[in-house]
Amino acid sequence: MELDDLKQTWKQSEKNQKPLNSNIMDIIQHKSYGPIAALKKRFKKQMIIIPMMLIIVINSFSRHHQLFTDVMFWCYIAFCFSLSIYFYFNYRIVGKMEYMDGMIKSNLERQVEMLEKRLRWHILGVRIALLFFIVLSEVLPYFQYEPMLEKWHTVAPVLRILAYAGLLALQYFASRALSQYKYGKHLSYLKELINEMQ
């Protein structure tokens, strides 16, 4: 008698687990409000904004400056190109998460871990790029005529260093907050839902 009750309880718990997991997957993979949809939307928006910014820069500065022989311009192009690639690959990872089969929980955990690692690398990469552009803006005028930097170099060096320090401090705090706002909250919600899965 007790064995039959135990079997019955076991079967009911298995039945209860399957709808729970499928309900969680419905929430995760929902096309309009799920965390995956929100992440896809963010990455797609960045993939569109970066080329638009590049077009605006080319359009506005090409009238006053020979952009295609400018080192700063080509460094900016390389930076934008690398950001576009970064957002494209993250968009693809999130897209794959929508159609997961097989061992769903472990796959989702792996993908979320990869996205979190990439976001940390992104924050670090943007800081390094900012430092690179600061050094480039200080060194480049000694080797190449740079009309955009000519006025900037008339400012006292101490004030320029203070401006760079302020810019680095602002970027340090703003990049964390912005990353958390754009991507971190959706990844945290996704992790909560994955942890609820059986």
Q: Where are the domains of the chain?
A: 2-196
Q: For residues 79-102, give the mean pLDDT.
A: 85
Take residue 124 and report the two structure tokens written for it. Answer: 């670090």
Neighbours of 7 (CB within 10 A): 10
pLDDT at position 162, please?
A: 96
Average pLDDT over residues 159-182: 93
- Per-residue pLDDT of 96-143, as tens digits, reads 887 765 557 788 888 889 999 999 999 999 999 999 999 999 998 888
User: pLDDT by residue (tens digit) across 15-56?
Assistant: 544 445 556 666 666 656 678 888 889 999 999 999 998 888
pLDDT of 168 over the 90 cut? yes
Task: Answer whether 84's CB lies under 8 Å from 51's CB.
Answer: yes
